[in-house]
Structure 1
Amino acid sequence: MLEPETRSTEHGEPERETPLRASDFLRANREALLSEWEHAMHALHAGLREKPSWLLDHMPGLLVSLADALDQGEQGPDTALADEHAVVRLDQGFDLGEVVAEYALLRKCILRRLEAQARPLEPGELERLEGALDRTVVRTVQRFAEERQRSLQALDRMAQATLDGPAVDTLLVRLLNVVMESTLTVDSAGVLMLEADRLVVRAAVGLGGDKALGSSLALGEGFVGEVAATRQPMTLRSASTDSRVVLTVLRDVGLRAVYGVPLVEGTRLLGVAYLGSRTSFGFSDADLLLFRTMCQRAAAYILQARLQDMERDARVEAQRSLALLDALLAASPLGMAFLDPELRYLRINQTLADINGFPPEAHLGRTLREMQPKAVADLMEPLLRRVLETGEPLQSFEFATPTSLMPPRGKRMWQVTFYPVREPQASGLLGLGCVLVDITHHKQTEASLQRAVDFREQLLAVLGHDLRNPLNAIGASAFQLARAEELEAPERRAVERIRKSAGRMGRMITDILDFARSKLGEGIPVSPQPMDLADVCQATLEELQVSHPGRPLLFESSGDTSGDWDPDRVAQVLGNLVSNALQHGGGDTPVHTRVRGEAHDVVLEVHNRGEPIPAELLPRIFDPFKTPVATSESASTYQKQRSLGLGLYIVHQIARAHGGRVEVRSSEEEGTTFRVYWPRAKSPPARV
């Protein structure tokens, strides 16, 4: 019990004050001391509002603990409270001087309040109070220094783990091992990295570490997902029974306490790290502080390792690309080089170096003008500048060896292509590439082939023209013989065969002459005039029927069939189509010819039944000399026919000369139909 504050003397002396105990003073002035101390702390840290130094934190509890210690005669206040205060101040970012300063302010507030008291302390109480305060400061500073040293050692070991620039997975395992060695109560630790929209276990050590690797969960899923989604540390006290634990390995190994911390670098979430203990339901504040500190530093290391991995992969890919490029340049029979925007050689293969007459290494860093003769540089440099200015490639530019260089290098023909080389994002030009091909042999072969083609076409023209006169004589003689009355039936049949063969040869010669004209550039001449297509077709069929009495040639027409065309060419088209139908159609099936007037065209159709045109022949049915050679006994009749194949080509050319077109459809069910479109519009004679 507290003694009375005053008492009377026996002789009526004035009352005198009873001395105070230090513990009573602290309890009686607790609120005032805390208020004065907080005010002093605000003044001390003016302008540094980012620190929570003005919060009371453990100070009320420390005053109560200090008073209890004075009452009980202990050496100092509760050491656990002092330790916790030291850890919290370390977590809040205080340095050691600031921790000592806050205790110094508390001491000053106590002394100032004591001076203002009318009642003094009992003898020795002030010394006891000072000693208790000193022990509190010493304990707090000691604990603060220990934990800081522990953190520094752990961070130093983490830094050492990154010195050789390991890959991300290797770095994570090393960092987790540092955590395990720095915290004795930890039995399991792991790191989940954010990949796309899922958290994937990339490293795990301790209990269940091997089984945890590769496991994944979504953001917000379970305890770990919630840590990632909220970006706040979280603690579980019984992981093996908590429904929020989604990773089965955390339950299977019987973990109790689990602590998760988000790995954040700036505003970017990298993943989540966790600690687990099978022997404890909770971790100490010091261990949690150490783990958070290590996670903060680890986030920066992980991001750096990721960047190094990307750089390493990019370097490997670049080296691989360069190796492939070097192999391509070395093996290519083409001359190839890359030049920068100043037209300096960056790379050149042996082929082009040999053409230039210098080794590849002599070109590097030298300009085109330095490595090429003036005549070549004057020709090529403007072309290269144009590619750089426009960004458009120059394709297949052909040139001959300049006259001044022919004595030493010989007469050669070259083809060169220049193309711009852009940055990956196409934001600018890195330079340009050059591909040079020696086309001398190709040009020589091309010229020889052209001469052979010209000779063949001239030969066909001469042959067709020179054969026409004797063939006309044969036809005329056969006609005269056919009129002789004294011929017997066998002789008349022989004469008739001569006439038919002569007529067929005449049509073949006409086709050859038309083909030669079209290939020699003269084109097939046409002379359009007003005519009725149906009348010309009917007359042509009557003549053909005489030559083929055993095959019915059917004809029908409808609509307006008049227009401006060349009647002789129309007859030639119909003759070729009907001859083709007779040749490839069924032996006794009729050939149908239809003429149909439409709004803008008159359509001529020739249809026959029989084996369809082979599918592989349809795309080039109107090409000359296209009939394939039979390769087996089962080959089609089209493959077994051996003819020049000029008839359909001439049909196509005549239709084009009139501004029309030819179509063909052929199938087993419908037979074969050739359809020619003759435009009605009058037009001047055209050449194809």
Structure 2
Amino acid sequence: MGGNGVTSSVEAEYRHSLAQFVRDHEREILATWVDSVRQINAEERRPTSALIARVSPVLRWLVDKNGAPGGPASLDRLAGELAAARMAEGTDETEIVAEWSLLRDCLLSAWAATLGSDDWATAMAVVHGVVDTCVMAAVERFARAHARTLAAVENVSKATFESTTVDELLQRLLQTFKDAAPTVDAAVIALCEGENLRLHAVVGMDVTGHTTVRKGDGFIGRIAIEKRPLESRHAAVDRLFIHPEIPTSGMRAAYGLPLVEDGSVVGVAAIGSRTAWEFTQADRAIFDVIARRAASSISYWQVREVFDREKAQLGVLLAQLPAGIVVAEAPSGKLTQHNVQIELIWRRPFAACESVEQYGAWPGYRADGQRIAPDEWPLARAVRNGETTLNEEIEILRGDGSRGAILVSAAPIRGPDGRIVSGVCALTDVTHRREIEEQLKLSVDQAHRAATFQKILSEASERLAEAVEMEATAMSIAQLGLPEIADTCGVYELEDDGGLRLVGFADVDEA
């Protein structure tokens, strides 16, 4: 204050006059202000006492200071604390500025009625000075809080995506808590493990032993059960703190928050200070923001670690299976996982198709020789149509140019809601088995033909021994092997000169 062409002595006189006026008319000023607030915000349902608490400390400051400037309880700091309290309630900056403007109007209109016209300009300057200080303090506090919040959110995001383990994430989250306020000296994070909380990360203090706390016990245990923040103004002597090293830690202020994700407590974060007896409302608001983000990050990393562990176990299992295994996403058909047997079966490097349409990179043929289209592969039918296939035989063209035979089984994998999320396919190389089966079949056929031929020879011998008419007998002998071992058969007679003479002939079409 002191601008607008008003001298310091005159300004002091008017500040004193304003203080006297507020002392005598505080109740009326506040009543008018409350009515004005409710008029511009019809949804305001808070009790009158709660509304008055937003601005009454400034009026009391005017009265207590009796118009004198400066002092330890400066107006700027007082207005900043009021703004921080409103921020903690979720009030935005524009609403706070509007309420201070209403207070300006109420003060001016009420005070002006007791002043002469010559005093009006100076009175306005004094009131403007008081209210402008409050507005600027609120704006500055919001700007600082916004910057701190953005920095904290950015640090949590970086910790989430740059960390490689949960432990690294927790250490970076603790550092974010520590950097959020200058009065923070220590922080801990404990994660839920069944009915217990286990201390996983600490910064700013030495903690050894007793790292597990039952839910409901002590400071962090109660936070986990009640799912709400707790604070202490003298942690070193507070009986809620059951860790034996806390009494000698020198901790004063302590603030703990539950880390809640989807309604479930995943852990507890606690922040401590050796210099402050309590954290400001602005500090606690920042801690709350960090805790909400941290809970999501921790949950994400816990799920990710479980997934990575199970994926590694699955990889080991797949490597031990004799069959070739391929896993694909749904509905794209992108191949996401395979074992080494796939490459051994196909005799080529694995082709990581990005979609079903790229399955043509794996040449397959039906029994009739027709090539299988990409969307006709059993795995494609599984991820696209939910179809299950069992031991479908397919001929393949392997990487070395040779042909092989495989049995293919495929099935869709469904999520909890029944939606197809992926598909799995098993390939068994039956090339060698099919070769053996063909050889066995050929051997059986040959043995059968040999036995049949011997039978025919035996019967032919008997007919020749009993033959009366050679030509008729030769014809009947020629028909013996039709069509079991041949389509045509000729009977020849060995002549004296060593030549052969055809004496009988039969054709399957004529038989």
TM-score, normalised by the number of residues in structure 1: 0.48
C-alpha distance in 2, partners of 1:131/1:113? 17
The aligned runs of 1:306-321 (5 Å cut-off) are: 306-308=299-301, 310-311=303-304, 314=307, 317-318=310-311, 321=314
Given that 2:411 and 2:424 are in contact with CA atoms closer than 8 Å, whether structure 1 keeps it comes out as yes
The aligned runs of 1:194-343 (5 Å cut-off) are: 194-208=192-206, 210-211=207-208, 215-265=211-261, 267-280=263-276, 282-285=277-280, 288-308=281-301, 310-311=303-304, 314=307, 317-318=310-311, 321=314, 325=318, 336=324
C-alpha distance in 1, partners of 2:406/2:169? 52
Given that 1:187 and 1:277 are in contact with CA atoms closer than 8 Å, whether structure 2 keeps it comes out as yes
- Match of 1:105? 102
Secondary structure of the corresponding residue to residue 435 of structure 1: strand
The aligned runs of 1:55-134 (5 Å cut-off) are: 55-69=51-65, 71-75=66-70, 78-79=74-75, 80-117=77-114, 127-134=125-132
Counterpart pick for 1:30 among 11, 19, 26: 26
Q: Give a deviation string over 1:385-433, Cα, whole Å, max 9, x none.
A: 9x979847459x9x9x9xxxxxxx99xxx99755343426595583643
Paired AA for residue 430 in structure 1: G
Gaps of 5+ in 1: 1-19, 402-408, 450-688
Counterpart pick for 1:430 among 423, 442, 446: 423
Flag the 1:415–1:50 CA change in 2: closer, same or farther, 3 A. Answer: farther
The aligned runs of 1:362-441 (5 Å cut-off) are: 365-366=358-359, 371-372=364-365, 374-375=367-368, 391=388, 393-394=390-391, 417-423=407-413, 430=423, 432-437=425-430, 438-439=432-433, 441=436
- Match of 1:168? 166
- Match of 2:455? none
Flag the 1:45–1:263 CA change in 2: closer, same or farther, 3 A. Answer: farther
Q: Give a deviation string over 1:279-303, Cα, whole Å, max 9, x none.
A: 44x1242xx5324423323432442
* 1:228 Cα offset (Å): 2.1
Paired AA for residue 64 in structure 2: D
Counterpart pick for 1:40 among 26, 29, 36: 36
C-alpha distance in 2, partners of 1:363/1:21? 84
Paired AA for residue 107 in structure 1: R
C-alpha distance in 1, partners of 2:259/2:389? 48
* 1:88 Cα offset (Å): 0.9
- Match of 2:504? none
* 1:184 Cα offset (Å): 3.3
Q: Give a deviation string over 1:625-668, Cα, whole Å, max 9, x none.
A: xxxxxxxxxxxxxxxxxxxxxxxxxxxxxxxxxxxxxxxxxxxx
Given that 2:257 and 2:291 are in contact with CA atoms closer than 8 Å, whether structure 1 keeps it comes out as no
C-alpha distance in 2, partners of 1:383/1:284? 64
Given that 1:228 and 1:269 are in contact with CA atoms closer than 8 Å, whether structure 2 keeps it comes out as yes
C-alpha distance in 1, partners of 2:115/2:343? 105
C-alpha distance in 2, partners of 1:119/1:243? 62
Q: Give a deviation string over 1:52-105, Cα, whole Å, max 9, x none.
A: 997222422221211233x25325874343232122122223333333221110
Given that 1:422 and 1:431 are in contact with CA atoms closer than 8 Å, whether structure 2 keeps it comes out as yes
Q: Give a deviation string over 1:81-138, Cα, whole Å, max 9, x none.
A: 3232122122223333333221110010122223555988978666544434444444
Flag the 1:43–1:324 CA change in 2: closer, same or farther, 3 A. Answer: same
C-alpha distance in 1, partners of 2:292/2:78? 31
Paired AA for residue 306 in structure 1: S
Flag the 1:378–1:191 CA change in 2: closer, same or farther, 3 A. Answer: closer
* 1:190 Cα offset (Å): 0.7
Flag the 1:204–1:361 CA change in 2: closer, same or farther, 3 A. Answer: closer
C-alpha distance in 1, partners of 2:345/2:123? 101
* 1:211 Cα offset (Å): 2.3
C-alpha distance in 1, partners of 2:132/2:406? 90
- The CA RMSD measured in Å over matched residues stands at 5.0
Paired AA for residue 87 in structure 2: L
* 1:33 Cα offset (Å): 1.2
C-alpha distance in 2, partners of 1:129/1:383? 82
* 1:205 Cα offset (Å): 0.4
* 1:312 Cα offset (Å): 6.0
Gaps of 5+ in 2: 1-15, 396-401, 445-511
- Match of 1:578? none
Where relative contact order (Cα < 8 A, 6+ residues apart) is larger, the structure is: 2
C-alpha distance in 1, partners of 2:118/2:428? 102
Paired AA for residue 85 in structure 2: V
Flag the 1:114–1:230 CA change in 2: closer, same or farther, 3 A. Answer: same
**Aligned residues between the structures:** 403
Secondary structure of the corresponding residue to residue 290 of structure 1: helix
Given that 2:261 and 2:299 are in contact with CA atoms closer than 8 Å, whether structure 1 keeps it comes out as no
Given that 2:19 and 2:67 are in contact with CA atoms closer than 8 Å, whether structure 1 keeps it comes out as no
TM-score, normalised by the number of residues in structure 2: 0.62
Q: Which moved more, 1:151-160 or 1:242-251?
A: 151-160
> What percentage of residue pairs aligned between the two structures are identical?
24
Secondary structure of the corresponding residue to residue 103 of structure 1: helix
C-alpha distance in 1, partners of 2:17/2:198? 62
Flag the 1:370–1:36 CA change in 2: closer, same or farther, 3 A. Answer: same
C-alpha distance in 1, partners of 2:57/2:115? 27
C-alpha distance in 1, partners of 2:160/2:248? 32
Given that 2:257 and 2:288 are in contact with CA atoms closer than 8 Å, whether structure 1 keeps it comes out as yes
Given that 2:259 and 2:294 are in contact with CA atoms closer than 8 Å, whether structure 1 keeps it comes out as no
- Match of 2:184? 186
Q: Which moved more, 1:80-89 or 1:426-435?
A: 426-435
Given that 1:41 and 1:54 are in contact with CA atoms closer than 8 Å, whether structure 2 keeps it comes out as no
Given that 1:337 and 1:435 are in contact with CA atoms closer than 8 Å, whether structure 2 keeps it comes out as no
